[in-house]
Amino acid sequence: MCYNSPPGKDVLTLLKSTFVLMQIHSSCSLKPYNTFGIDLPAAQLVRLMDEEELAPIGDLAQGTAPRVLGGGSNILLTHELKDLIVKNELKGINLLEENEQHTWLEVKAGEVWHDFVMYAIAQNLGGIENLALIPGCVGAAPIQNIGAYGVEVRQTIDEVIAWHWEEQRYLSFKNEDCRFGYRDSIFKREMKDRLIITSVVFRLDKVHCLNTSYGAVQQQLEIMGVSEASVKSVAEAVMAIRRSKLPDPKTLGNAGSFFKNPTITRQQFDSLCAHHPDLPSYPASEGQVKIPAGWLIENCGWKGYREGAVGVHEKQALVLVNYGGAKGADLYQLSEKILRSVLEKFDITLEREVNIW
Ligand code: EPU
């Protein structure tokens, strides 16, 4: 195999037996590869552009789990990384099957999520329109079961195909094998650090079943003067809402929701409501209530807070931001302070949604 790379001083070239061409960068900055815009180096970064390159990754990793990067929109870098970083750039969308109701598409993991949503809408295929504008790549979608405005990606996933880098073979996970939960799946648990997701098979709807249950989506459709919603208009409504309250990582470094919305017991919810009658809630499993972490954080006084280069977004308290030049460790410290104050005031332990690297 032949490991090759373009010229440049952050690049290493290796030669081996079979003929596979790979780009390997050494001591390169990860700043362009994470939406927080944290500037830390990686010892080695491989750009995975062809599935033929999967086998050599096992050799390169030298027994230590490689870290897989998609859009870098759900990570916080806190220290220099010694492990091999694999930037998943596998591309392609293939039509697998269709009938009168559905179309099955196999989408390679390195496709940009929002571009895929736009592709589906252009084909008039429904199911993922509420997930428009979520940053990141297709391969990351099943890992944290991305969700927004009443829809989770698990509702459209038929199968996830992944490469087990140690066993050197492909594994297939049907929907039920993925053990999806709220921002959760087998890929964050039992299969963590073992797999490189290569593609996701989606079952999309030709006969649409729109979800406009979320109040903000309904209101936005009214503002837009839409009387009969379509996959396109729902996506446009979602995009308008997201643009109005979530910062664009291209202009302000962030990783979306930094914490998950916590689930508490109905009993704890009732006693909190006695002091905070305006506490919002979402339905959860029996005897449980999910509450918005953004409300808890705002009510601890953090919304719009700024400390040097780090802060809490002024329109959505669940989003931590890098005003420019922030260190990952400073963002982590801020998240610690927020966790402590929510615990003290509400006796609720928040869990980070963002992966700490
Ligand atoms: N709220 C506040 N203050 C805030 C933010 C929120 O009081 O600063 C309260 C409001 O009552 C609001 C409620 O929280 O009505 C819900 O807020 P929002 O609709 O913004 O949703 P969220 O629960 O904060 C979740 C997801 C988002 C997703 C939205 C819309 C999580 C961790 N986050 O946020 O996902 O876009 O719902 O469905 O579940 C992401 O995961 O990165 C993400 C942005």
CB 76 within 8 A of CB 336: no
Which of 151, 248, 257 to mutate for ligand 1's pocket (most ligand atoms within 8 Å of CB)?
Answer: 257
Q: To which residue do tokens 């490469």 refer? A: 163
Q: Which helix (H) or strand (E) holds 198?
A: strand 195-205
| Average of per-residue pLDDT across 155-183 | 97
DSSP letter (8 states) at residue 300? T
| Closest ligand 1 atom number to CA of residue 260 | 32
Distance from C-alpha of 180 to C-alpha of 155, rounded to nearest angstrom: 10
348 and 258 in a common domain: yes
Is 247 within the bounds of a domain? no
Per-residue model confidence as pLDDT tens digits over 308-327: 999 999 999 999 999 999 99
Residue 245 lies in a domain: no
DSSP strand pairing (306-307 vs 355-356)? unpaired
Rounded average pLDDT over 217-228:
97
In a domain, 64, yes or no: yes
Measured from the CA of 315, which atom of ligand 1 is nearest? 8
| Same domain membership, residue 122 and residue 71 | no
Phi, psi of 42 (to 5 degrees): -110, 140
Supply 98's token pair: 């269709």
- With left for phi above 0 and alpha for psi between -120 and 50, is residue 261 left, alpha or beta? beta
Within this chain, do residues 63 and 154 fall inside the same structural domain, yes or no?
Answer: no
Q: Specify whether 47 is located in the same domain as 143.
A: no
- 229/160 Cα distance (integer angstroms): 30
Q: What is the CATH number of the domain that holds 72?
A: 3.30.43.10
78 and 102, same domain (yes or no): no
CATH number of the domain enclosing 330: 3.90.78.10
d(C-alpha 63, C-alpha 84), whole Å: 10
DSSP 255-292: EEESBPPPEEEHHHHHHHHHH-TT---EE-STTEEE--
Residues 350 and 295 in one domain: yes
* pLDDT for the residue 5: 40
84/98 same-domain check: no
The model's pTM: 0.93
* 259 and 341 co-located in one domain: yes
Q: Which residues are catalytic?
A: 183, 257, 353
Q: Domain range holding 227?
A: 215-240
The answer as to whether 32 is a domain residue is yes
> 3 pLDDT band (50/70/90 cuts)?
very low
- Are residue 201 and residue 152 in the same domain, yes or no? yes
Q: Which of 145, 174, 153, 179 is nearest to 162 (CA)?
A: 174
Please check whether residue 285 lies inside any domain of the structure: yes
61 occurs within a structural domain? yes
Is residue 246 a part of any domain in this protein? no
For residue 194, the domain's CATH number is 3.30.465.10
Give the Å distance between the CA of 50 and the centre of ligand 1: 37
